[in-house]
Chains A and B, each alone.
Chain A
Amino acid sequence: MLEYITAYTTPLIGGLLIGATAVALLYLLGRIAGIAGIVWGAVSAQPDNAWRWMFIVGLLAGPVLYHLVAKVPYPEPSPLPWWQAVAGGLLVGFGVKLGSGCTSGHGVCGIGRLSPRSLAATITFMATGIITVYVIRHTLVGTWL
């Protein structure tokens, strides 16, 4: 039992930190901590943009800091081919822009404000994510990749 508790402690604390960030950003700046929205706002040169670019700088610095201080090694690089990274990236970018949000914007912040729109989006992308992994790993499609 104890090993189960400790195994899920770091994911849980990580999740609490992400939630705390979302609360701080809403309380201080009135902004939603949706990464897709922050990134799009930054690259499309929206007004009042400094906080977005600094958030991205922090987002890059955070993991370096964590792995250094906690002495946890970097995760193994993905074994998947480069074209799967490109395909995944294109679909993710297209989807989050069209659907106005990603895991953080809809999943963490949207559900936090009890938005039916975000709940519907979250259920949808969880479902298609699960189906996609199923198709790639457990059907004949996987053998073609």
Chain B
Amino acid sequence: MKALVGLICGIVFGVGLAMSGMTDTAKVLGFLDVTGNWVPDLAFVMGGAVLVTLLAFRFVLKAKRPLLNPRFYLPATSVIDGRLLGGAAIFGIGWGVYGYCPGPALAALTYLDNKTGMFVVAMLVGMAVANKVARN
């Protein structure tokens, strides 16, 4: 059942990404290019998504537990530290370098462009390196 939930949520998420233009690096880079020929489309994606979570999460989190698991798995830390901001800053640079964040990069794999495959492999390597660094 949990696997089925995962599958359906993944499909809808993937449809949402493709539909919204997030899997199009030209649109993403155009959105980040605020001083150039700005493409505002993706503000509506983030706006629409956050609108839903802002309205619905508070009701969902009022429950004692989720429907199919014993508890909610939420981040334990609330500290804003150098690791959080440094990581976010580096992520943003990478996003601006090529135009993919993790979800759209995976979703765009099925367009069968070699460079997307390279991006995803490099992303996994980057995660593994950060995991090593953060442990030491």
Residue ranges of A at the interface with B (Cβ–Cβ < 8 Å)? 7-8, 10-33, 35-36, 39-40, 43-44, 48, 50-67, 70, 72, 74-78, 80, 82, 84-104, 106-109, 111-117, 120-122, 124-134, 136-138
Contacts and interface: CB of A to CB of B under 8 A. Distances in A.
Interface size classification for chain B: 35 or more
Interface of B: 2-27, 29, 32-36, 40-42, 44-54, 56-57, 60-61, 63, 65-69, 71-75, 77-80, 83-103, 105-111, 113-116, 118-131, 133-134
Contacts of B124: 39, 43, 93
Contact of A117 (B45, B77, B110, B134): B77
Contact of A15 (B47, B95, B114): B47
A5 B86 CA distance: 37
Question: Which 9 residue pairs spanning A and B have beta carbons closest together?
Answer: A62-B14, A58-B10, A99-B87, A93-B126, A112-B53, A14-B20, A15-B48, A19-B52, A91-B94
* Secondary structure class of chain B's binding surface, majority of residues: helix
Q: Which DSSP category, helix, strand, loop or mixed, fits chain A's interface? A: helix
Given A91-B93, A95-B92, A28 B5 contact: yes
A78 B11 contact: no
Nearest to B10: A58
Contact of A10 (B21, B110, B111, B127): B21
Query: Which of A28, A92, A97, A131 lies at the interface centre, i.e. has the most chain B CB atoms within 10 A of its CB?
Result: A92
A51 to B, nearest CB: 3
28 contacts: A8-B41, A10-B21, A11-B45, A15-B50, A43-B124, A50-B3, A59-B13, A59-B17, A61-B11, A61-B110, A62-B10, A63-B14, A63-B15, A72-B18, A78-B98, A82-B114, A82-B115, A88-B99, A88-B122, A89-B94, A92-B105, A95-B89, A97-B130, A103-B95, A111-B54, A121-B85, A130-B32, A133-B36
B5 to A, nearest CB: 5
Contact of A78 (B26, B67, B103): B26
Most chain B CB neighbours (cut-off 10 Å) among A56, A78, A127: A78
